[in-house]
Amino acid sequence: MVDVLVIGGGLAGWRAAEAAADAGATVGLVARGAGNSPDIHALNVPVGPGDSVERFAADTLASGRGACDPALVGTLARESVALAGEFPWDRNPDGSLAMLQPLGCSVPRCVSIGHHIGAWALANIRRTLAGRVEATRDRVVALSFGDGAFSAKLQDSGATVRARAVVLATGGWCGKYAFSDNPPDLQGDGIEMARALGAALRDMDAIQYEPTVALAPSAVRGIPVITTMLFEGATFRNRDGAEFLQDIHANKDSISRAIFAEIEAGRGVPAGQGGDGGDAPQSGVWFDATGVPAEVLRTRYADTVNRYGAAGVDITREPMLVAPAPHTSLGGVAVDSRCRVLRPDGTPIQGLFAAGEVTGGVHGLNRIGGNAGTEVLVFGRIAGREAAAYVA
Ligand SMILES: Cc1cc2nc3c(=O)[nH]c(=O)nc-3n(C[C@H](O)[C@H](O)[C@H](O)COP(=O)(O)OP(=O)(O)OC[C@H]3O[C@@H](n4cnc5c(N)ncnc54)[C@H](O)[C@@H]3O)c2cc1C
């Protein structure tokens, strides 16, 4: 029996494990795979020029199209400020934080560590926790409660792990789609576990499409191209080479819709790869970064330049063929600001907590780029602390 069992080994899960262990709880963590977190490039911290907690919250609420939980957004915005001092973020030559402006942010707000904050933070937490958390690679196939504890049934070993409290951090369900930038371990399992224990779900029809997921060549297919390039001179072009979306302040949802509309109107660019992609789209549009100074591409977007370069495409001179793909589950398990999982009547299910993409309510119907990374760090920590406090 452990005090706290964390299900999920992304950043929400490891952050929760760290917080629970730091609070003195015995912690077990079961994860099926790596999830989306290693791919987090950057995340939002509202400490740049002209920015504030209030502005961050207002941008998030506006992007969510009226469907965010204002209490969760308030917690996200307030708690995010502390992240500015917690990590060795990339800095400009003058010492200020190097910030990108993601879609949906009214000011530059996105910080990173070499464009790989997800992988960096995961490695850092694992190193800090070495020996203090019992981690198991397996899939939880059922979660039940009885005799004062939760029981998690594991698929591969057939074992059952007992715990006084559980943190669900199983991510979303976009791994179900054939053309997605998510790995297949993300099937919405935690949402089903929570529902079986009586949890309320919210916004289950809400998925964020990443507008710019590489469609071809096949070596880069399914990998997203970062949309902050739009603020540096990148544009969208249809099969005739005409620019069709010039509003760089548009959100991810409106950009994806504009791309789909262009394709449906017959102005999409054929993927030219036949039917090899299951239900992957057969056409996309050009994402043309040739208007971004080559030096900016080579320094700020070196990963993309190199990845395409290895696939034979020089993005400083040629456009990228992209299409929107399911990227983030926006709906999920209903929680309060303490990450307690809620029943349909709003009361918490004792001992059950959730954080990260498995939950709904933070992003409403449309997520600001960079807000998921902030979410998992902020709410992962809260969930771990709360679970440990519940057990204590
Ligand atoms: C390519 C890509 C790039 C992204 N870049 C950014 C970015 O730059 N900034 C940003 O803010 N957001 C970004 N996002 C979104 C962000 O990555 C996710 O929202 C975030 O990582 C979710 O973290 P999580 O810990 O909740 O879930 P995940 O990191 O997805 O982890 C879920 C974990 O649960 C495990 N799991 C699932 N089911 C089970 C089960 N039944 N039993 C055991 N374990 C299970 C999984 O194997 C995994 O370990 C990106 C997403 C993608 C796909």
Average pLDDT over residues 221-230: 90
For residue 353, CA distances in Å to 303, 334, 348, 358, 390 come to 36, 10, 9, 11, 10
pTM to 2 decimal places: 0.92
131 and 214 share a domain? no
Residues 302 and 381 in one domain: no
Among 310, 326, 342, the domain boundary falls at 326
Boundary residue ending a domain (326, 342, 375):
326
How far is the centre of ligand 1, averaged over its atoms, from the C-alpha of 335 (Å)?
A: 18
pLDDT band at 276 (very low <50, low <70, confident <90, very high): very low
377 and 228, same domain (yes or no): no
Is the domain of 181 the same as that of 257?
A: no
Pair (265, 320) in one structural domain: yes
Domain that holds residue 135: 2-205+330-391
Q: Would residue 85 be called left, alpha or beta, if left means φ above 0 and alpha means ψ between -120 and 50 degrees?
A: alpha
Q: Is the pLDDT of residue 384 over 60?
A: yes
- 57 and 191, same domain (yes or no): yes
* 194 plus 61 within the same structural domain: yes
pLDDT for 369 beyond 50? yes
Same domain, 57 and 140: yes
pLDDT at 278 over 60: no
**What per-residue confidence (pLDDT) applies to 274?**
41
Candidates 196, 217, 211; CA nearest to 103 is 211
Between 118 and 130, where is the model more confident? 118
What is the per-residue pLDDT for 110?
96
Q: What is the CATH number of the domain that holds 6?
A: 3.50.50.60
> Does 280 lie in the same domain as 132?
no
Chain segment 288-306, per-residue pLDDT in tens: 999 999 999 999 899 999 9
Which of ligand 1's atoms lies nearest the C-alpha of 138?
43
* Pocket-testing residue among 7, 56, 180, 185, ligand 1, by greatest number of atoms within 8 A of Cβ: 185
74/194 same-domain check: yes
51 C-beta closer than 6 A to ligand 1: no
Confidence of residue 20 (pLDDT cuts 50, 70, 90): very high
Report the C-alpha gap between 68 and 367 in whole angstroms. Answer: 10
Per-residue pLDDT at 329: 97
Which one is predicted more confidently, 114 or 251?
Answer: 114
- Identify the CA nearest to 354 among candidates 191, 163, 155, 197: 191
Is residue 320 within 8 A of residue 287, CB to CB? The reply is yes
Task: Give the domain CATH number at 268.
Answer: 3.90.700.10
Determine which residue's CA is closest to atom 27 belonging to ligand 1.
171
33: CA distance to ligand 1 center in Å? 10
Count of structural domains, the chain? 2
Does residue 328 have its Cβ closer than 6 Å to ligand 1? yes
51 and 182 in one domain?
Answer: yes
